[in-house]
Chains A and B, each alone.
Chain A
């Protein structure tokens, strides 16, 4: 029988550069208090958000994704023509058809890459990161651009003050390439589909709703194991973690997770939610970009990542920062 040949691939994959785009319009809690029955104290104490960015009309999902992707490409030192896989993790495209990744790639001058959108809720970017790293390791791709982009303000129910204060817009991206040493750890991913209604756009509605208590309980009781397993499979422990960058859903969840993991004092904890709100699949790359830009994190740092959200879905992995 004829055997099928496989490419040799690469021993590992690594992050080569990160980039982000934050919409121009800053919306503070006081601004929200003008629009709905809420206040700064309530928002800060429940979710830890001080301000967030909402996209203006010209800041479309494609434009934000292109901007973040372009910065990641520039940071990677690669040329657009070196990239042959583009993944766009998003939960908030304006239309179901067509997927946006081919257009984003085209606008970035990436010639004819494998390109698709991926919806795994707020875990989308961590899912896409794993898929891209595996594609590089198996030889399905040489270099990949992985974007998380969201315009959640298009799907926010402004009558629901428990969620309208949380969701926000933005995009973050990373370029991945091959490496001799693995610098993207094995993913620990999964889903709890019995909780599919916990974060959803209800029938006949256009805005999201969230069962806050159910999601909070799930995140604070089930996901510590995911993080511990992600470290175990990568062969590292809490003391090795330089940066902890979980999905920026709620500051209280972030603090509880950090406490339960027993991370050392020196570990830098991403708290980008304070100024960015919850940007779903954009939140992890936005947070990582912010930490690298501020100098709080540096190239070579070991970072523990976790995405989790609508589905419900989750994905955690350990990576070396570019």
Chain B
């Protein structure tokens, strides 16, 4: 899947789980500081990403995903 497709898919998840406007889900944004996504919503995002992209995101990896770009990189590398 291309990075663009991943970005679109991730934006859909962010909108559905955390109510983030797709245009706001740009790579430099911090989930916690910019998008108001709390730690439990991060878990929901992780499980939705796992389902959608067929990747596994263990809790210790999840802790390293701070920005939308981190998530994109993780999915791209592990898909």
Chain A residues engaging chain B, CB cutoff 8 angstroms: 45-46, 211-214, 216-217, 220-221, 250, 252, 256
Could you say which residues of chain B place their CB within 8 Å of the CB of A46? 38-40
Q: Is the CB of B47 within 8 A of A220?
A: yes
**Contact indicator A252/B47 (Cβ below 8 Å):** no
A257 CB to nearest B CB, Å? 13
Mark out the residues of chain B between 25 and 73 whose CB falls within 8 Å of any chain A CB in the assembled complex: 38-40, 42-44, 46-47, 59, 62
**In the bound complex, how far is the Cα of B40 from the Cα of A221, in angstroms?**
13
- A214 to B40: give the CA distance in the assembly, Å: 10
**Residue contacts A-B, CB under 8 angstroms, 21 given:** A45-B38, A46-B38, A46-B40, A211-B59, A212-B39, A212-B40, A213-B39, A213-B40, A213-B42, A213-B43, A213-B59, A213-B62, A214-B59, A216-B43, A217-B43, A217-B46, A220-B43, A220-B44, A220-B47, A221-B47, A256-B44
Interface size on B, residues (CB 8 A): 10
Majority secondary structure of chain B interface residues (helix, strand, loop or mixed)? helix
Q: Which residues of B contact A211 (CB under 8 A)?
A: 59
The chain A residue sitting closest to B40, CB to CB, is A216
Name which residue of chain A comes closest to B36, CB basis: A45
- How far does the Cβ of B19 sit from chain A's closest Cβ, in whole Å? 13
> Which residue of A is nearest B42, CB measured?
A213
Tell me which residues across on chain A come within 8 A of B62, comparing CB atoms.
213
* CB proximity of B34 to chain A, nearest CB, Å: 17
Nearest CB of chain B from residue A76's CB, rounded to whole Å: 39
Which chain A residue has the least Cβ–Cβ distance from B39? A213
In the complex, chain A residues whose CB is within 8 Å of the CB of B46: 217
**Bound CA–CA A220/B39 (angstroms):** 14
Chain B proximity of A32: nearest CB distance (Å):
18
What's the least CB distance linking B58 to chain A, in Å?
Answer: 9
Residues on A with C-beta less than 8 A from B59 are 211, 213-214, 217
Query: Are B47 and A217 in contact (CB-based, < 8 A)?
Result: yes
Beyond contacts A216-B43, A220-B44: 15 other A-B pairs, Cβ-Cβ < 8 A, are A46-B38, A46-B39, A46-B40, A212-B39, A212-B40, A213-B40, A213-B42, A213-B43, A213-B59, A213-B62, A216-B40, A217-B43, A220-B47, A221-B47, A256-B44
Which residues in A have their C-beta under 8 angstroms from that of B43?
213, 216-217, 220
Given the complex of chains A and B, what is the CA–CA distance between A34 and B38 in angstroms? 23
A48 to chain B, nearest CB (A): 11
5 nearest A-B pairs in the assembled complex, by CB-CB distance: A217-B43, A216-B43, A213-B43, A214-B59, A216-B40
- Chain A residues, Cβ within 8 Å of B44: 220, 256
CA distance A214 to B42 in the complex (A): 11
B57, chain A: closest CB distance, angstroms: 10
CB distance from B78 to the nearest CB of A (A): 17
| Cα distance, A213 to B39, chains bound together (Å) | 7
